[in-house]
Structure 1
Amino acid sequence: MKTNLRLLKYLQALLLIMLTTFSSFTLAEDQSALANKIESVDVSSLPGGRLSIRVRTSQPLTNPPAGFALTGPSRIALDFPQVGNGLGKNSINAEQGMLKTISLAQGKERTRMVLNLSNTMSYNTSISGNEVSIILQPSIVSAGSTVETKFAEPKLDGQKNTINKVDFVRGKNGEGRIIVDLSDPTVGINIKQKGKVIEVDFINTEVPADLQRRLNVTNFNTPVVFVDTMKKGKNGHMVIEPKGAWEQSAYQADKKFIIDVRQLIEDPNKLVPSSKVGYAGEKLSLNFQNIEVRSVLQVIADFTGLNIISSDTVAGNITLRLKDVPWDQALEIIMQSKGLGKRKNGNVILIAPADEIAANEKQ
């Protein structure tokens, strides 16, 4: 009996050693598969309640990390593709301003960084060499104050760009939509909410004389009254004047930059006004330069938890910038810009060229 008990303990110990060795080997194999690593994360405070997070990697990134924001609780998730966690830990206790902790989780092909917040904050990302800069700023500001967002960082080569066209349409949910055709998808763009107007600067960008004008768009019956386009120094400058209570979101697909201005509905039973019924998905922000369309669809699949299947005929690249856009609207933007359609069955979404979807539905 004692011999059997000793043998059982020996076998249990041997099994534990084998499992530990196997786990260590698997972990080392996963770690070695990602040559680029996050080497350091530094957090510092900035004026106005803003925070700076600097993430240093062992090799430069091609694009800033794609991210999305969540509420309940408030947090921001950023995905570093083909980057491993080289910090030796999975959590950082920040405790600065509204930033409580930073969590890191490494998968086979990426590391996801989650910023855990005490309240909602907006963010901007940029890259310079081996360093990723993340700027957080409080989302709630006092009336009459100015909030500026660096929607897109300009290229450092000083290339001169041009605004080719400015158009205005009414969206299907009654929103005012300003569409700007750019000469290059890499134009730097700053968006500033200043009091009751929205100001947009197109960095180092020419505005042809025939586009330097005021558009009176009151007849469209949207929250937007005027759109002024002009030259301001070396930049193209646009002032959008809405009426009433409103909110705005901006996005860019290749050379088209778009701002949507939506009316907010005052409901006495709600503490915060809400926009009209339209897109219902959680909001996310993305910033990709010339990335495969299939890769962007995978990011949305990860964000939503849905099974998004791309047809073999889905191809091509896209430059995409989104700021606080509902994920279902983001998916529609991608499909419209690339001539794609979708077919949904439960929690499975098939994405394919629109004519292919139409042909399959006729069968």
Structure 2
Amino acid sequence: MKTTRMSMQRMPGWRAWLAGLACLLGLPALAAQNALNAVSVSVGQNDTQVVKIAFKEALSEEPIAFSTSNPHRLVLDFPSTGSGVGRAPVNLNLGVIRNYQVVQAGERTRVVFNLNGPTSHELRREGNTLLAVLRVAEKPAGAQTAAVIPTVFPETGTARAHGVRDVEFRRGENGEARIVVSLSDPGVGIDIQQKGKAVQVDFLNTSLPKPLQRRLDVADFATPAQLVETFEQGKNTRMLVTPRGKWD
């Protein structure tokens, strides 16, 4: 079972908080069985950027992938994988990719791409290599909202492939709001966006049990969070986290 942890602290603005939220989405520690050996980026056809991530062994499945829209980021999580590359950010300014960073936390390795704008992506495994093809996300004609950054996972028939098992709210040692979401498996895609004052987190292609479809007023916990709402939205489970007071 996958456990996702989100933390909300008092920061000067939404950009800082959303960046921290993306960095705290994680997987439980597993024994490292594979290793990330190299990352390279090149220019592909039709204004795309092709990322090649080489591993010691072939991946048994595609990584957990999620994106944020403020700031624009693509995050790839590789459970049970160590890292053989440095932690320092690699500056590129190549097409949609501004820079990237590889970080190992326990027995998990994460690759974070900081992007220059809304981006769509495709993932493909070839032997010991994962290919990620990134391109600028097109905004529909006449649209007034920011383009959505999709994280696409194959669906099985009409049934939702994954599920939310539990949602817990806790107050951290430093007064931060901590939200722990237990998921059915590591294959759940996650998409994070800012929606007005709230942060919207979509767990893609997941079902949500009736008892977990609720609106929690957590103001009494004395954290930066005011409300945590969890409900089904189409084929996804959506969580809205609303802060207390006025934020920049």
TM range (shorter): 0.5 to 0.7
Say if 1:65 and 1:287, in contact at 8 Å, map to a contact too: no
Aligned equivalents of 2:59 and 2:166: distance in 1? 17
Aligned equivalents of 2:88 and 2:123: distance in 1? 21
Q: Deviations over 1:299-343 (max 9, x none)?
A: xxxxxx851354xxx8x669766889999573485225x777344
CA distance change for structure 1 residues 45 and 140 in 2, over 3 Å: closer, same or farther?
same
Residue 129 (structure 1) shift: 2.4
Structure 1 position 330 matched with structure 2 position 193: no
CA distance change for structure 1 residues 331 and 93 in 2, over 3 Å: closer, same or farther?
closer
Residue 104 (structure 1) shift: 1.5
Say if 2:191 and 2:201, in contact at 8 Å, map to a contact too: no
Aligned equivalents of 1:345 and 1:42: distance in 2? 46
SS in 2 for 1:285: coil
- Match of 1:65? 63
Aligned pairs for 1:203-218 (under 5 A) are none
Q: How many residues align?
A: 176
SS in 1 for 2:207: helix
Larger relative contact order (CA 8 Å, sep ≥ 6): 2
Look up the equivalent residue of 2:145 and give its one-letter code: S
CA distance change for structure 1 residues 292 and 83 in 2, over 3 Å: closer, same or farther?
farther
- Match of 2:117? 119
- Match of 2:245? none
With normalisation by structure 2, the TM-score equals 0.54
* Structure 1 gaps, min length 5: 1-31, 144-244, 246-263, 265-272, 276-281, 299-304, 352-363
Say if 1:51 and 1:137, in contact at 8 Å, map to a contact too: yes
Residue 50 (structure 1) shift: 0.6
Say if 2:192 and 2:200, in contact at 8 Å, map to a contact too: no
Aligned pairs for 1:24-103 (under 5 A) are 34-103=32-101
Look up the equivalent residue of 1:274 and give its one-letter code: T
Say if 1:41 and 1:54, in contact at 8 Å, map to a contact too: yes
With normalisation by structure 1, the TM-score equals 0.39
SS in 1 for 2:106: coil
Aligned equivalents of 1:321 and 1:288: distance in 2? 10
Identity of aligned residues (%): 19
- The match for 2:153 among 268, 287, 303 is 287
Q: Deviations over 1:85-124 (max 9, x none)?
A: 1113432233322312111121113111111122222111
SS in 1 for 2:212: strand
Aligned equivalents of 1:59 and 1:116: distance in 2? 26
CA distance change for structure 1 residues 110 and 317 in 2, over 3 Å: closer, same or farther?
closer
Residue 349 (structure 1) shift: 6.6
CA distance change for structure 1 residues 62 and 99 in 2, over 3 Å: closer, same or farther?
same
How well do the aligned residues superpose, as a CA RMSD in angstroms?
Answer: 4.3
Say if 1:75 and 1:114, in contact at 8 Å, map to a contact too: yes
Residue 128 (structure 1) shift: 2.3
Residue 71 (structure 1) shift: 3.0
Q: Deviations over 1:107-156 (max 9, x none)?
A: 1131111111222221111212211110001113797xxxxxxxxxxxxx
Aligned pairs for 1:93-172 (under 5 A) are 93-140=91-138
Say if 1:37 and 1:57, in contact at 8 Å, map to a contact too: yes
Residue 73 (structure 1) shift: 3.3
Look up the equivalent residue of 2:132 and give its one-letter code: I
Say if 1:83 and 1:109, in contact at 8 Å, map to a contact too: yes
Computing the radius of gyration from Cα coordinates, the structure with the larger value is 1
CA distance change for structure 1 residues 48 and 324 in 2, over 3 Å: closer, same or farther?
farther
Q: Where in structure 1 do 4 or more consecutive aligned residues deviate above 4 Å? A: 288-298, 316-329, 347-351
Aligned equivalents of 2:186 and 2:103: distance in 1? 27
SS in 2 for 1:63: coil
Aligned equivalents of 1:296 and 1:66: distance in 2? 19
* Structure 2 gaps, min length 5: 1-29, 169-176, 219-224, 231-248
CA distance change for structure 1 residues 125 and 104 in 2, over 3 Å: closer, same or farther?
same
CA distance change for structure 1 residues 325 and 102 in 2, over 3 Å: closer, same or farther?
closer
Structure 1 position 308 matched with structure 2 position 174: no
